[in-house]
Amino acid sequence: MIYLDNSATTKPCPQAVEAVADAMTRRWGNPSALYSFGLDTAHTLRVARCQVAAALGGEPDRIFFTSGGTEADNWAIFGTVKRMGKRGKHIITTSIEHHAILNCMKELESQGFDVTYLAPDAQGRISLEALKDALRKDTILVSIMMVNNEVGSVMPISAMAKLTHKVCPDAIFHTDAVQGFLKVPFAAKSLGADLISVSSHKIHGPKGVGALYISPRLKSFPPLLLGGGQENGLRSGTEGTPGIFGFAAACGAVNATFREDTAREKELLENLVHSLSALDGVEINGCHDAPHILSISIPGVPTQNSLNLLQDAGICVSAGSACAKGHRSHVLSAMGLSPQRIDSSFRISLCRDTTAEEVETLVNVIQKEILPRAR
């Protein structure tokens, strides 16, 4: 199998698998317990928090574990609204966010909030100027993704956060960094975002765990879950230590070779773009700024047909976002692509384990098996 759907999920690395197994066989004590077995697990939990913080470039005590990116996004959005109270009803996001953000916005609109959706350009980028024009005195939240999960466009998050805080000092800036974490360089301490969402299973860790970074600028933030006071009282419930320890191990493993891996991925992606651009009938969608995401279309061949042909050749890709099955891509629609191009699109996403041979095989299958059906 040639796996090229890494934006959907990644294969857990050996270090993560070992950490999960260790947590379930040796370090399975409750970290809230006061006897040595529980205290040992609590110590390992602190170490794990520091590992995630190191990879994120943030303070360990500002890392709060969640069940994944979707929960972190929901907590960021609804927590901000609760914290800001009646200071304003205006929120800014983009029309190309993940549905973990967009569906939160729909809910808030039903409650009377005014949401501005920034539109991308033809390459899938959101401009700083568009944000500047949208900011208002009553803006309480700006939520803009770091890397688009379908076309790989990278947003100027640091500049956007700085602008937001300059124009609206009380507003909170959130970024969904699920596709940017350990893919594009940034440090939470210097990024300027108040809230940052990340996920484990996008970086070779286990599913079902992620984190929300809450900046020290927010001295208080509404809790997500009430109960026994875990996660400094902000997300109660016995910590899911197998997932957390696996997440931390993945952070350590991936962060250790981050620069080398992303440079190699970027080279593979650029070679792939060059090879596909030379094929008559292949259209490249968007800017593919990030090192791992590429959207292409083969007009005349429906997406599902291409997926089936690639699957027959042992190659896994996806029809855009894995979290929006059966729907025409809202990202490509917002970019102004034609229905024919959208309905023939699919996403290729690489990882640190992807090889040049796998990319070459993909190009050969597209050329020999898919393109002839477009003519």
Active site residues: 323
**Cα 156 from chain centroid (whole Å):** 15
Sign of the four-CA dihedral 15, 17, 22, 27: positive
- Convert the chain into a string of H (helix), E (strand) and C (coil): CEECECCCCCCCCHHHHHHHHHHHHCCCCCCCCCCHHHHHHHHHHHHHHHHHHHHHCCCHHHEEEECCHHHHHHHHHHHHHHHHCCCCCEEEEECCCCHHHHHHHHHHHHCCCEEEEECCCCCCCCCHHHHHHHCCCCEEEEECCCECCCCCCECCHHHHHHHHHHHCCCCEEEEECCCCCCCCCCCHHHHCCCEEEEECCCCCCCCCCEEEEECCCCCCCCCCECCCCCHHHCECCCCCHHHHHHHHHHHHHHHHCHHHHHHHHHHHHHHHHHHHHCCCCCEEECCCCCCCEEEEECCCCCHHHHHHHHHHCCEECECCCCCCCCCCCHHHHHCCCCHHHHCCEEEEECCCCCCHHHHHHHHHHHHHHHHHHHC
Instruction: Write phi, then psi, for 155 (nearest 5 degrees).
Output: -95, 150
